[in-house]
Amino acid sequence: MTVGVLATEFEKRLARTREQMKKQGIDVLFVYSDEYHPGYSFYYTNFRTINCIEESAHALFIPLEGEIQAFLGNLNRFAAKRFSWIKNVNNIYEMEALLPKYVSELPYEVKTVGVVGEELFPISLYREMEKAFVKDGINIVDAGHIVVQERLYKSKAELDLIRKAGKLADDSILAALEKLEVGKTEIELSAIGEYVTRSRGGEIGSAYLVVSGPDHTNLPTWRPMERKIERGEYVWFDFNPMVEGYCSDTGITVAMEGASAEQIRIMNFAYDTNQRMVEFIKPGMTGKQLFQETLRICENAGLADYFLPYTKGMRAIGHGVGLEVVETPDLGPNSDFIFEPNMCFGIKFDLHGFPFGGVRVEPTVIITENGAEPVNDLRGMKAKYESNFK
């Protein structure tokens, strides 16, 4: 078990999930995830696979009653037997033979299996799972919504871990900012942030991004390269540490010495707008309302054309954060999702398309009874960096 989330909490999650299964007529839940999207399985097991030659698959057979069966690759099974809360560990490449066996041992008839993580399933493994159930006449349905809904609401232990991840993100960015100077490469700065995260007991939730200059900062995302930082450029940092399985998604933009007054104005506008977005959030409002307010601010400033020019149909101004850096839901122009206490989001403000590049500002926030609590100090990091020039 983890230090932050006790086994008793995992047991409560399982009990709530089984209640939803009963209500929705699902006899068995089959959950799939992998190293890069571990949330579905981690939620019930406190265990994440690692990509070591084989597929980093992690599947769970969750019946309405009785023991959970875990399915993993050959190499990951050894660690799972030692560290996972679930001790029934099977070879995922033997699903076709083992799944009918576990179905037959249940004290009730299995008519419907709900699959969670269809979007992650490699087709070869999905076909093996499908053959195992279909040959017994079992109906397979998508049941991802059950686990997604469960994961939206965080416990106190989960929120405390997210706060720790947020503080670690700030510390990692500050360490990189201390070494930021003309001639440093993007990849050097990224490595500094990764080192601080690792050296303080954290893990890398997703790629640590440092991008600079007009070409790189005008992209929605890109990996750090050997590109050297130049005078007068934007540099943005997007660091996403993980603490005992829980993440923060944190981004800031700074301007190098020599940046124009217009660059500074746009950057400061991004920080101001993001703060207004966070302050605007209240329980009961929708993602669409937050998007409309953000667009209104940009329109009033004459910057609407630079507001998310690449995100038509993509993630827009935010997303859930938890066991993964990017979780459901997306917050955009058509989002009917309602903010409620104990949810957690990355609230992102981007402007792109200027001749001198683009900016990104993104804290992780926790929804409270009264509004949104940031777990990052973006302005504090920016001010500390700027004080180095004075």
The mean per-residue pLDDT over the stretch 301-317 comes to 75
Residue 320 has pLDDT above 50, yes or no: yes
> What is the predicted pLDDT for the residue at 43?
95
C-alpha distance from residue 161 to each of 7, 112, 202 (Å):
16, 36, 11
Give me the percent of the chain exceeding a pLDDT of 90: 86
The mean per-residue pLDDT over the stretch 250-257 comes to 97
The mean per-residue pLDDT over the stretch 45-67 comes to 88
Say which range, 95-99, 134-138, 319-323, 346-350, has the weakest mean pLDDT: 134-138
Q: Is the pTM of this model over 0.85?
A: yes
Say which range, 74-78, 95-99, 180-184, 362-366, has the weakest mean pLDDT: 74-78
Residue 112 has pLDDT above 90, yes or no: yes
Q: Is 139 exposed, middle or buried (0-12, 13-18, 19+ CB in 10 A)?
A: middle
> What is the predicted pLDDT for the residue at 309?
59
C-alpha distance from residue 267 to each of 93, 271, 297, 354, 387 (Å):
51, 7, 15, 12, 16
State how far the Cα of 296 lies from the Cα of 300, in Å rounded to an integer: 6
Residue 360 has pLDDT above 60, yes or no: yes
pLDDT confidence bin for 388, thresholds 50/70/90: confident
Q: Are 367 and 345 in contact (CB under 8 A)?
A: yes
> What is the predicted pLDDT for the residue at 53?
61
319-354 in b/e form (b: 16+ CB < 10 A) is bbbbbbbbbbbbbbbebebebeebbbbbbbbbbbeb
Type of residue numbered 319: H
14-37 in b/e form (b: 16+ CB < 10 A) is beebbebbeeeebbbbbbbbbeeb
> What is the predicted pLDDT for the residue at 2?
44
> What is the predicted pLDDT for the residue at 386?
87
The mean per-residue pLDDT over the stretch 276-286 comes to 98
The mean per-residue pLDDT over the stretch 150-175 comes to 97
Residue 108 has pLDDT above 50, yes or no: yes
The mean per-residue pLDDT over the stretch 193-203 comes to 97
Cα 145 off chain centre by: 17
* DSSP class of 306: G
Cα 53 off chain centre by: 24
Residue 315 has pLDDT above 70, yes or no: no
Say which range, 44-53, 92-101, 112-121, has the weakest mean pLDDT: 44-53
Type of residue numbered 140: I
> What is the predicted pLDDT for the residue at 313?
47
State how far the Cα of 210 lies from the Cα of 220, in Å rounded to an integer: 12
